[in-house]
Amino acid sequence: MDRQSEWILLRRVYAFLKSRGLRASAHALEKEARLKYDVRRLYAHFVDGRWRRADQYVSAFMRGKENTPAASGALFVIRLRRLVEALRLGNHFWAYGYHVDRVAPLLIGHPDRAAASAQVREALRADAEGRIGKAFPDREENRRACFVEFLGYDDQNKHLYRCSDPLDLNLKLIARNYSLTMRRRRRRHMPRRQQVPGQPAASTTT
């Protein structure tokens, strides 16, 4: 039985369990068989910096498609951050093994191989020079930016949409508006130049 037929059969079993009120069993099957690509869960992994869980979750859906440009690009966003996290924590032995086994192979099919390779080299160089935290800051806004970058590739992985809850896709709109929201917030909190009492306003003409 191929993956497509297996997925159809599992969806039927899932629907049967729900129709009989066996929601706990249906939920367990959904979780174990990866029947639904839950964008909300993945978004939470990104924002909280749970890169290992994000890697495992996405890799399960990308299995067999890692060499396609879209899948390579999407997985690279997550695995680069997981590599950086390991380097930041000082797990160098594991990090270099992960780089060889899980990150480097993605460069072969990456749509922008030169840029991706440069990011990996910068991570390794920054770690050697003791500036990994500065080169790859781990703030919430950086994690959200990674999610936006991930979605740029994720949109091209059409096979994932059959597993998606349509409501989850609203997160894509939220993420794409994130950069605009942050720019507006920065402008709103910028200190305004105040006029000194008794002095005329500064002229903009020469």
Confidence of residue 76 (pLDDT cuts 50, 70, 90): very high
Q: How many other CB atoms are there within 10 angstroms of residue 37's CB atom?
A: 21
More confident residue, 41 or 33: 41
What is the average pLDDT score of the chain?
Answer: 79
Q: What is the pLDDT of residues 131-165, one digit of tens each?
A: 999 999 999 999 999 998 998 886 666 555 445 55
Confidence of residue 4 (pLDDT cuts 50, 70, 90): low
pLDDT on residue 162: 47
Q: CA separation (Å) from 191 to 187, 188, 194, 200?
A: 9, 8, 9, 20
Q: What share of the chain is helix, strand, coil (3-state, %, to 5)?
A: 70, 0, 25
pLDDT on residue 80: 98
pLDDT on residue 198: 57
pLDDT on residue 52: 95
Is 129 a residue whose pLDDT tops 70? Answer: yes
Is 99 a residue whose pLDDT tops 60? Answer: yes
Q: What is the pLDDT of residues 14-30, one digit of tens each?
A: 788 888 888 787 777 76
pLDDT on residue 32: 66
What's the token pair of residue 59?
Answer: 């890799």
58-68 residues labelled b (16+ CB within 10 A) or e (exposed): beebbeebbeb
Range 67-86 average pLDDT: 94
- Whether the CB-CB separation of 54 and 76 falls below 8 Å is answered with no
**Percent of the chain residues topping a pLDDT of 90:** 44
